[in-house]
Amino acid sequence: EIVLTQSPGTLSLSPGERATLSCRASQSVSSSYLAWYQQKPGQAPRLLIYGASTRATGIPDRFSGSGSATDFTLTISRLEPEDFAVYYCQQYGGSPLTFGGGTKVEIK
């Protein structure tokens, strides 16, 4: 099973600042099959990025994904008020599908 470790656990930033979230895999994720999701309280997760770097339909270009093998990054270039939420990475290169533990981006 591929274990995903997200860091930091919590990121305290102000609107307009840049957010950099990390997702590290315990083994290489084949073909960069790595996705990122955003979840707000009381809501279902929303797909942001798949294939490590492809934005899902309707996702603003301030969200970008990068990385390969075992190290992946989600960057939010300038935080908007609606971006404060919990973010999860997920690998789909192997079974079982697994998620990281999440990074909470909170308002400083």
Partner 1 sequence: QVQLVQSGAEVKKPGASVKVSCKASGYTFTSYGISWVRQAPGQGLEWMGWISAYNGNTNYAQKLQGRVTVTTDTSTSTTYMELRSLRSDDTAVYYCARVGDYSGSYFFDLWGRGTLVTVSS
Q: Provide the binding-site residues for partner 1, judged by CB under 8 A.
A: 31, 33, 35, 37, 43-47, 50, 56, 88, 90, 92, 95-102
Query: What helix, strand, coil percent values describe the chain, rounded to 5?
Result: 5, 50, 45
Around Cβ 6, how many Cβ atoms within 10 Å?
A: 21
Q: Measured between alpha carbons, how far is residue 34 from residues 4, 64, 102 in Å?
A: 10, 13, 14
Strand partners, 87: 38, 103
Q: Which is nearer to partner 1, 13 or 47 (CB)?
A: 47
Q: Which is nearer to partner 1, 45 or 79 (CB)?
A: 45
Please state the closest distance from residue 35 (CB atom) to partner 1, in A: 4
Closest distance of CB 14 from partner 1, Å: 25
Residue among 65 and 76 whose Cβ is closer to partner 1: 65
CB of 1 to partner 1, least distance (A): 8
Whichever of 17 and 46 has its CB closer to partner 1, that residue is 46
